[in-house]
Amino acid sequence: MRIYLVRHGDAVHEEEAGSDRDRWLSPKGREAARVLGRLLREARVEPDAIVCSPLPRAAQTAELVAAGLDYLGHIESWRCLEPAAQPRVAAERLGTIGDSIIVVGHEPSISSLGAFLLGRPSFPPFRTAQCCAIEDRKPTFTARSDIAQIHPYFVE
């Protein structure tokens, strides 16, 4: 199983959106999500499924990454990927939807999900519009839109 954990792109400030739940991607965040989609295409990522938090900034990131990958499937919205969610529910659901899955969420829940999937007490926090690939329960690479590069990534 291949799981690609993604943190959403940069979002507008809470004051502009009216609440944290309603924040959408800033222009910088939209471009970063597009860059991340291109990086994942270069890495030959071909998802069976894409799931995301229902919050606008995560859904928009998922849509832009999907467009970069020419993904034509449905993007599912899961409440168990919201910022304060516990990772167990999302981890259990992931095993039922495909062999290659992109998961778009928030900090701290996306790094908590990474730790849970690897059976570790913690996982490094994600930057905005960053992806960490986990293949067969091992981290294999990270894609960072802020530097437009993919690097090997191992958690010791």
Give the global pTM: 0.95
Range(s) of the domain holding residue 76: 2-152
What is the full per-residue pLDDT of the chain (156 aa) written as tens digits?
A: 999 999 999 999 999 999 999 999 999 999 999 999 999 999 999 999 999 999 999 999 999 999 999 999 999 999 999 998 889 999 999 989 999 999 999 999 999 999 999 999 999 999 999 999 999 889 999 999 999 999 987 543
Tell me, what's the pLDDT at 153?
A: 72
CATH code, domain carrying 80: 3.40.50.1240
How far is the CA of 75 from the CAs of 9, 41, 52, 56, 64, in angstroms?
A: 17, 17, 7, 13, 11
Please state the domain count of the chain: 1
Q: Which residue has the tokens 């030959």?
A: 44
Kindly state the tokens that stand for 130. Answer: 């960053």
> What sign has the CA pseudo-torsion 133, 139, 145, 148?
negative
Tell me, what's the pLDDT at 156?
A: 38
